[in-house]
Amino acid sequence: MSVIRRGRVLRDILEDKRRLKQAAEFAAEQRRLEIAQKAPLYADLSGEIAHIFIELSREAALRPGDADALNRSAHARVVDLRRRAEAELSAAGYSPADLEPNYACPLCRDTGFVGEVEKDRCSCIRQELNRRLYDEAGVAGQTFEQFDLGLFSIEPSLSGQSQRAFMEQARDFGLRFARSFPNNARKTLLFTGLPGLGKTFLLNAIAAEVLTRGFGVMRLSAYRMFEIMRKTHRGQDEGEMNDMLTAELLTLDDLGTEPLMENITVEYLFTLLAERKNHGLSTIIATNLGLRELSQRYTERVASRLSDRSSTLVLHFEGGDLRRGQPGG
């Protein structure tokens, strides 16, 4: 997976819209041609209606005092002609709606924009943008709006705080982090704790929010990260290493589950963290390992980068396993 950027996804959507609009208008044009053949009287009647309106405006200009009477008489004739025209249409198997393009979005007529003077992006674009961003990033269903605190226990854990109370704080923190991105005091977040405690959900919800705000996000499992590192090591990288180094937000899930090859994992991970920190880029890492285990697996050098409190905020997710009871984040 490469970096996902809102700008590119938006361009794709507008391009798709343009095609949809063209197709709808082409189909309507085809139907109008068919109707002209199958219901020739319809065209004659429509022509008569148009003629009445032209006549009306001319007459009304010449005799402004009679405008009301002229209007009334024209109206009666138009109503009658329209009724006959529609009967012709219907006899040929069409409805008046068939004459118009059948736009996917009637609000913006598939232009993607609404408003006369100030053009605003139509709601159809905004919805589609979020849908595609979440889909491409693989975070559909894991946004802050879908964060369900009800899933978490209200039993007090070791620290005396319930999991639900902790998750509420974690969620609020994550939302603040995503909304002030990229101007965060500490740009690296490390989520530790056992599986099933909501680390991945929070990680994805932050990624989703940052994506919708227009920043480039790369979301990787540690295994995928390892594969990119191994390819790079063999000189077979296809630009993904550069994406990892430069994405405005990089999220790494499940750190510690990837294969460990010291000359690859440890070296590249150290470089990755150092480079991203030097460039002021944000990295969010979720791991089932504790700080001591991280140090054992990736060396002290990497672990101290990961737990450097000046640049990293460590959030320890509690619950379940009591053996590794660090008091909450």
Nearer to Zn ion, 108 or 178 (CB): 108
Residues 2-12, buried b or exposed e (16+ Cβ, 10 A)?
A: ebbbbeebbee
Provide the strand spans (E) within 67-214.
Answer: 113-114, 120-121, 188-192
Number of H helices, E strands in the chain: 10, 7
Nearer to Zn ion, 69 or 107 (CB): 107
Nearer to Zn ion, 105 or 202 (CB): 105
Question: Could you give the CA distance from residue 163 to residue 169 in angstroms, rounded to a whole number?
Answer: 10
233: exposed, middle or buried (C-beta count within 10 Å: 0-12, 13-18, 19+)?
middle
Q: What is the DSSP string of 213-232?
A: TT--EEEEEHHHHHHHHHHH
Give SS3 for 147: coil
Among 13, 56, 74, 122, binds Zn ion (CB under 5 A): 122
Only one of the segments 105-113, 154-162, 184-192, 222-230 lies at the binding site for Zn ion (rule: CB under 5 A); that segment is 105-113
The label of the residue with tokens 């990119």 reads: 228
Only one of the segments 124-132, 212-220, 278-286, 293-301 lies at the binding site for Zn ion (rule: CB under 5 A); that segment is 124-132
Residues in 151-210 that interact with Zn ion by CB under 5 A = none
Only one of the segments 71-79, 98-106, 265-273, 286-294 lies at the binding site for Zn ion (rule: CB under 5 A); that segment is 98-106
Nearer to Zn ion, 108 or 202 (CB): 108
Nearer to Zn ion, 18 or 75 (CB): 18
Among 85, 108, 203, 289, binds Zn ion (CB under 5 A): 108
**Could you tell me where the DSSP H helices lie in 63-122?**
67-91
List CB contacts of 85: < 8 A, sequence separation 6 or more. Answer: 41, 42, 45, 46, 49
Among 107, 149, 151, 274, binds Zn ion (CB under 5 A): 107
Q: Is 124 in the site for Zn ion (CB under 5 A)?
A: yes
Q: Is 45 in the site for Zn ion (CB under 5 A)?
A: no
Q: How many CA atoms lie within 13 A of 36 on its CB side?
A: 7
Only one of the segments 122-130, 180-188, 232-240, 316-324 lies at the binding site for Zn ion (rule: CB under 5 A); that segment is 122-130
Q: At what angle do helices 6-38 and 40-62 cross, to 10 degrees?
A: 100
CB of 107 to Zn ion, least distance (A): 4
Q: Is 105 in the site for Zn ion (CB under 5 A)?
A: yes
CB of 101 to Zn ion, least distance (A): 13
Only one of the segments 103-111, 171-179, 217-225, 230-238 lies at the binding site for Zn ion (rule: CB under 5 A); that segment is 103-111
Binding site for Zn ion (CB under 5 A): 105, 107-108, 122, 124
